[in-house]
A and B are shown apart, each in its own frame.
Chain A
Amino acid sequence: MSPQLTLQTPLELAPADVPTYLEQLWSPEQQGSTGTGANTFCLLIWQPAWAEQHLIRTGRLNGPITGQQSDQLVAAGQQAVIDADLPSGTPPLAEAVISAVAGWDGINPSEDLRGQYIDPALSALQPRRLITLAPMIEADHPLETLVAAYCPLPEEGGGTTACGDVVVLRGSQNALEEGLAILQPLLPARMPAWVWWNGSLDEAPDLLDQLAGTPRRLILDSAVGTPRQCLDLLRTRVQSGQAVNDLNWLRLSNWRETLAMVFDPPQRREALNHITQMEIDVESNHPAQGLLLAAWIADRLGWKLISSDSDDEAINARFTRGDGVEVRFQLMSVPVGQPSVHPGQMVGLRLICKPDSSPGVCVILCTESGGCMRLESGGMADLELHEEIVPVQNRTPEMDVARLLGGGHDTTNPLLASAAPLAASLLP
């Protein structure tokens, strides 16, 4: 399915007029002309799309600016990694790429359709209101406020028309911050409101605080931003009781499922009580996902963290199991030929279990996108080996977000709630 555009040209209004205009749009007198207002949810998106804006400005990508992760955008990012002479393992939309492209000349103009270019996975959910905050790279661009009614038309037809509206706040970051006052009345308390921070967790922390207070449900990506900030923010938000959804955690689901599968046969479960060593390899230099996986395993198995430190090559930690035996943990960043668009994706996991009265067990999980030769070496000849390949998930962030919105929860997944604080503690 191709993305859908709003049916009418968005109307540019003065910011102060937006709430009144929308109130009138959904008033009972107007409903005949616009369909029924969907009684669903509101989604507020922080949509900086810095990489896309710069790549289009420098002529490395064709417009319009959509804020969506397309194959063309990823390919342009990959080319920029080469042109900027960045390390080959740099993810194509990483901060380093944005910084490099931002320094290049270019003034290619482009239409900005952020907020008006709606992924079908999202429109299928019939959101009542999509509010997009679209900061622009021009530092002095004044605030523009666009409004449009929007009725998703399923390609297969059928269904009654349950409409929503889109609101776009566009301008420099300062201008956007000045326009925030209109947001509160646009997010009615009777409907669940989600905030999707589709940018780095390092940027605009004050803005994030203003936008994503409870009871709004927060969607973030702990792979985007410095690891310390990502994991601390995740921990803080989870511990505050807010419903937090982490796309980086969601992308771990195949790893969690595959590892659980290894220990499904009851005769293998005893080995879980005898793990002495856990090693994780991740792509590039971002350990958040690997630490979340390690934290989930440690939490599920009742391990206590004793210490954690790091050197140039690895993060090393020690846990104690329930029976007091020590478990050593190591996380390493390893080079990969074609890095994922998401920084720090899992490459491999090795668990070594040494029961007292039976042969040891070594479990290795490897991503299907690359090998895990480091984990497959290192004297495991006397261990019973279980090796599994973990399928790569090829879903766009929009699809993941739609998945979260489609089955919304007003609390954080308990597994993430337990793992996030421990993952933050694991990062020295």
Chain B
Amino acid sequence: MSAMLATVTNPLRVGLRQERVIAPQCLVIFGASGDLTHRKLVPALFELFRQRRLPSEFAVLGCARRPWSDEEFRGKMGDALAKRIEEDPQAWEQFVGKLFYEPVDLQQPDHVFRLGERLERIDEQCSTHGNRTFYLSVSPKFYAGGCRSLADAGLLKDPKRSRVVIEKPFGRDYGSAQALNRVVQTCGQENQIFRIDHYLGKETVQNIMVLRFANTIFEPIWNRNYISSVQITAAETVGVEERAGYYETSGALRDMVQNHLTQMLAITAMEPPGRFDPEAIRNEKAKVLQATRLADELEPWNCCIRGQYGPGGSNESPLSGYRKEPGVDPNSTTETYVAMKLFIDNWRWQGVPFYVRTGKRLAKRLSEVVLTFREAPVHLFDAAAGGPTANQLILRIQPDEGAEFRFEVKSPGSGMRSRPIDMEFSYDDSFGEPSDEGYVRLLADAMLSDPTLFTRSDEVEAAWRLYTPLLELIEDSPWQLPVHPYESRTWGPAAADALLARDGLLWRRP
């Protein structure tokens, strides 16, 4: 063991991540020929295998319409993971034997019947105990039909030994989400349905709960008496890239706000659950979402700003605007930026504005939650910045995961001037190991039948209902919510700054 190695990684940490053990089972991936399978799902499974968190009685059955064989599927996954395999070829050799493939069109009953037979053979071959997780990594339009096909074939009849994971987006609006929920709930019990939101797989999002509920110092001040406003930001520097086809039909509101940002809001604002139990936590999340509303539901244009990135960059490396991106309508009014103001009508948060923003081609890639505290009632000291800076607790979701607390201290010198400083916690400094990808955590949880980090039907519906006034307005009279252009790699349109300026506030410039 060289000194170099010891300082790069903690040698005592290796092999210890075996918290909860996944029971023998077969994971069935529909859409196995798609991007998500080789980019996220199989790498996440391989990582779980390397961490010895998968049992030896385990199999992955890839399903798609392409007529691949087991060997072809294994070969394609091997190509896609070539870099990771180089690090641990022996582990891949053991893992790849657990990959199988079955050509399946979920709309064809005979295919699904044949799938059932194949699963029984895999049970015999791999002792997977008839325990199955079905992962629908297919186009959203097949979610309902896919669930129905599985239920009709009797593959979901045992609620303890079968579960379905459904990717986002779950519906396009309140009505379609309700309709989809009705279908999937006729196919299985709610505890068999795992609606995935990969933001919830992030350590730092989960850490918001730990920070709040494992410490006594935060919860007493986590309310309207001490907090004056909350900002939630998810900023990307990239543009729409190859997702124009999807993005044109969704926009930032559907792509980011309704799911990821709303989940962050729910975890930040929820009441403490009585116990750490999936239903207790999801009850609280659902309750807070049901109490959340746009700051001005009657005239939503007063509390919501849409934007769309225009050109930017420098002469040397120019960036094209959204409407010039391949696959985008040159007259597109799809928003790539949204900022809005919300209120939560409950005892804890009454009157505290929650400002939420997300956008593409912003100045920095980051996600964070910022809680700004009320000012001290009396200012005893001169402040270096003119007035004292409000205390802020900043929860950094990504990158540079961690938290910081900003507060006033005495500035060195003979006077009594105050100035703000930051007290920092960084995951890197404290743990020094990269966190697992969100999919590693979420796949493991789904296979463990732990729905804590998945969204329940009422949460999804509450989230869609929250944004219904905006979606209707965009649909019926889009001119009332115009898309404000903003220069690529800036912090969004000036109108978004004005939204906060009306309340005497500024967006945090991290």
Task: Give how many A-B residue pairs fall within 8 Å (CB-CB).
Answer: 109
Within 8 A of A (CB), among B21-78: 21-24, 52-53, 55-57
Q: B174-195, CB under 8 A of A: which get 1 and which 0? A: 0000000000000000000000
Is residue A126 contacting chain B, with contact meaning CB distance below 8 A? Answer: yes
Interface segment, one of B145-153, B156-164, B454-462, B494-502: B156-164
Report yes or no: A259 in contact with B12, Cβ–Cβ below 8 A: yes
Report yes or no: B429 in contact with A266, Cβ–Cβ below 8 A: yes
Residues of B within 8 A of A301 (CB): 1, 6, 11
Within 8 A of B (CB), among A369-415: 403, 406-411, 413-415
Q: A142-157, CB under 8 A of B: which get 1 and which 0? A: 0000000000001000
Report yes or no: A270 in contact with B3, Cβ–Cβ below 8 A: yes
Main secondary structure of the interface of B (DSSP, over half): loop
Report yes or no: A408 in contact with B2, Cβ–Cβ below 8 A: no
Is residue A323 contacting chain B, with contact meaning CB distance below 8 A? Answer: yes
Of B1, B7, B127, B157, which is within 8 A of A300 by CB?
Answer: B1
Report yes or no: B127 in contact with A41, Cβ–Cβ below 8 A: yes
Identity of the chain B residue whose Cβ is nearest the Cβ of A243 in the assembled complex: B56
Report yes or no: A256 in contact with B12, Cβ–Cβ below 8 A: yes
Report yes or no: B160 in contact with A192, Cβ–Cβ below 8 A: no
Of B16, B23, B430, which is within 8 A of A265 by CB?
Answer: B430
Report yes or no: A260 in contact with B10, Cβ–Cβ below 8 A: yes
Is residue B14 contacting chain A, with contact meaning CB distance below 8 A? Answer: yes
With A39-B124, A264-B430, A265-B430 in contact, do A408 and B6 touch (Cβ < 8 Å)? Answer: no
Residues of A within 8 A of B157 (CB): 160
Q: B114-134, CB under 8 A of A: which get 1 and which 0? A: 000000000110010110000
Residues of A within 8 A of B13 (CB): 260, 263-264
Residues of A within 8 A of B432 (CB): 264-266, 269
Is residue A103 contacting chain B, with contact meaning CB distance below 8 A? Answer: no
Chain B: minimal CB distance from A47 (Å): 24
Residues of B within 8 A of A191 (CB): 127
Is residue B142 contacting chain A, with contact meaning CB distance below 8 A? Answer: no
Chain B: minimal CB distance from A51 (Å): 30
Distance of A125 Cα from B159 Cα, bound (Å): 15
Residues of B within 8 A of A159 (CB): 158-161
Identity of the chain A residue whose Cβ is nearest the Cβ of B429 in the assembled complex: A265
Report yes or no: A260 in contact with B12, Cβ–Cβ below 8 A: yes
Is residue A257 contacting chain B, with contact meaning CB distance below 8 A? Answer: yes
Of B3, B15, B56, which is within 8 A of A410 by CB?
Answer: B56
Residues of A within 8 A of B479 (CB): none
Residues of A within 8 A of B23 (CB): 125, 406-407
Is residue B381 contacting chain A, with contact meaning CB distance below 8 A? Answer: no
Identity of the chain B residue whose Cβ is nearest the Cβ of A323 in the assembled complex: B3
With A126-B129, A265-B430, A270-B3 in contact, do A408 and B10 touch (Cβ < 8 Å)? Answer: no
Is residue A297 contacting chain B, with contact meaning CB distance below 8 A? Answer: yes
Is residue A158 contacting chain B, with contact meaning CB distance below 8 A? Answer: yes
Report yes or no: B21 in contact with A158, Cβ–Cβ below 8 A: no
Q: B399-441, CB under 8 A of A: which get 1 and which 0? A: 0000000000000000000000000000011111100000000
Q: How many residues of chain A have a CB within 8 Å of chain B?
A: 44
Identity of the chain A residue whose Cβ is nearest the Cβ of B4 in the assembled complex: A273
Residues of B within 8 A of A74 (CB): none
Report yes or no: A413 in contact with B15, Cβ–Cβ below 8 A: yes
Identity of the chain B residue whose Cβ is nearest the Cβ of A264 in the assembled complex: B431
Is residue A185 contacting chain B, with contact meaning CB distance below 8 A? Answer: no
Identity of the chain A residue whose Cβ is nearest the Cβ of B160 in the assembled complex: A159
Is residue A38 contacting chain B, with contact meaning CB distance below 8 A? Answer: yes
Residues of A within 8 A of B57 (CB): 41, 192, 408
Distance of A286 Cα from B428 Cα, bound (Å): 40
Chain A: minimal CB distance from B447 (Å): 11
Report yes or no: A158 in contact with B160, Cβ–Cβ below 8 A: yes
Distance of A403 Cα from B19 Cα, bound (Å): 11
Distance of A263 Cα from B432 Cα, bound (Å): 9
Distance of A127 Cα from B313 Cα, bound (Å): 63
Of A40, A264, A414, A415, which is within 8 A of B24 by CB?
Answer: A40
Report yes or no: B14 in contact with A300, Cβ–Cβ below 8 A: yes
Residues of A within 8 A of B428 (CB): 266
Chain A: minimal CB distance from B90 (Å): 11
Q: How many residues of chain B have a CB within 8 Å of chain A?
A: 37
Is residue A109 contacting chain B, with contact meaning CB distance below 8 A? Answer: no
Of A154, A300, A406, A413, which is within 8 A of B11 by CB?
Answer: A300
Q: A252-279, CB under 8 A of B: which get 1 and which 0? A: 0100110110011111011011000000
Chain B: minimal CB distance from A271 (Å): 9
Chain A: minimal CB distance from B310 (Å): 42
Distance of A297 Cα from B16 Cα, bound (Å): 13
Residues of A within 8 A of B1 (CB): 300-302, 322
Report yes or no: A269 in contact with B7, Cβ–Cβ below 8 A: yes
Chain A: minimal CB distance from B122 (Å): 11
With A300-B11, A406-B23, A413-B52 in contact, do A269 and B6 touch (Cβ < 8 Å)? Answer: yes
Within 8 A of A (CB), among B289-322: none
Distance of A323 Cα from B433 Cα, bound (Å): 25
Q: A300-323, CB under 8 A of B: which get 1 and which 0? A: 111000000000000000000011
Report yes or no: A264 in contact with B10, Cβ–Cβ below 8 A: yes
Distance of A273 Cα from B9 Cα, bound (Å): 12
Report yes or no: A38 in contact with B56, Cβ–Cβ below 8 A: no
Q: A56-89, CB under 8 A of B: which get 1 and which 0? A: 0000000000000000000000000000000000
Of A160, A409, A413, which is within 8 A of B56 by CB?
Answer: A409
Distance of A300 Cα from B56 Cα, bound (Å): 25
Is residue A162 contacting chain B, with contact meaning CB distance below 8 A? Answer: yes
Report yes or no: B55 in contact with A273, Cβ–Cβ below 8 A: no
The CB with the most chain A CB atoms within 10 A, among B12, B13, B21, is that of: B12
Chain A: minimal CB distance from B159 (Å): 6
Report yes or no: A403 in contact with B431, Cβ–Cβ below 8 A: no
With A126-B129, A263-B12, A264-B433 in contact, do A408 and B55 touch (Cβ < 8 Å)? Answer: yes
Residues of B within 8 A of A256 (CB): 12, 16
Chain A: minimal CB distance from B104 (Å): 23
Identity of the chain A residue whose Cβ is nearest the Cβ of B9 in the assembled complex: A269
Residues of B within 8 A of A162 (CB): 130
Report yes or no: B7 in contact with A266, Cβ–Cβ below 8 A: yes
Of A41, A126, A300, A406, which is within 8 A of B12 by CB?
Answer: A300
Residues of B within 8 A of A38 (CB): 129
Residues of A within 8 A of B158 (CB): 159-160
Residues of B within 8 A of A125 (CB): 23
Residues of B within 8 A of A154 (CB): 160
Chain B: minimal CB distance from A162 (Å): 7
Report yes or no: A192 in contact with B127, Cβ–Cβ below 8 A: yes
With A159-B161, A263-B12 in contact, do A270 and B7 touch (Cβ < 8 Å)? Answer: yes
Report yes or no: B11 in contact with A407, Cβ–Cβ below 8 A: no
Report yes or no: B12 in contact with A403, Cβ–Cβ below 8 A: no
Distance of A270 Cα from B158 Cα, bound (Å): 52
Chain B: minimal CB distance from A404 (Å): 8
Within 8 A of A (CB), among B355-389: none
Chain B: minimal CB distance from A153 (Å): 12
Chain B: minimal CB distance from A364 (Å): 15
Residues of A within 8 A of B130 (CB): 39, 162
Distance of A413 Cα from B432 Cα, bound (Å): 24
Report yes or no: B24 in contact with A408, Cβ–Cβ below 8 A: yes
Within 8 A of A (CB), among B210-253: none
Chain A: minimal CB distance from B398 (Å): 19
20 A/B residue pairs, CB under 8 Å, sorted by A: A39-B129, A40-B127, A41-B127, A154-B160, A158-B159, A158-B160, A159-B161, A160-B158, A256-B16, A263-B12, A264-B430, A266-B7, A269-B6, A272-B6, A272-B10, A300-B14, A322-B2, A323-B3, A408-B55, A413-B15
Q: Apart from A154-B160, A158-B159, A413-B15, list 16 A-B contacts with CB within 8 A.
A: A40-B127, A40-B129, A162-B130, A260-B13, A260-B16, A264-B13, A264-B432, A265-B430, A266-B7, A269-B432, A270-B7, A273-B7, A300-B11, A406-B23, A407-B21, A408-B55
B residues in contact (CB < 8 Å) with A: 1-3, 6-7, 10-16, 21-24, 52-53, 55-57, 123-124, 127, 129-130, 157-161, 428-433
- In the A-B complex, the 3 residue pairs with the smallest Cβ-Cβ separation, listed nearest first, are A407-B21, A302-B1, A266-B432
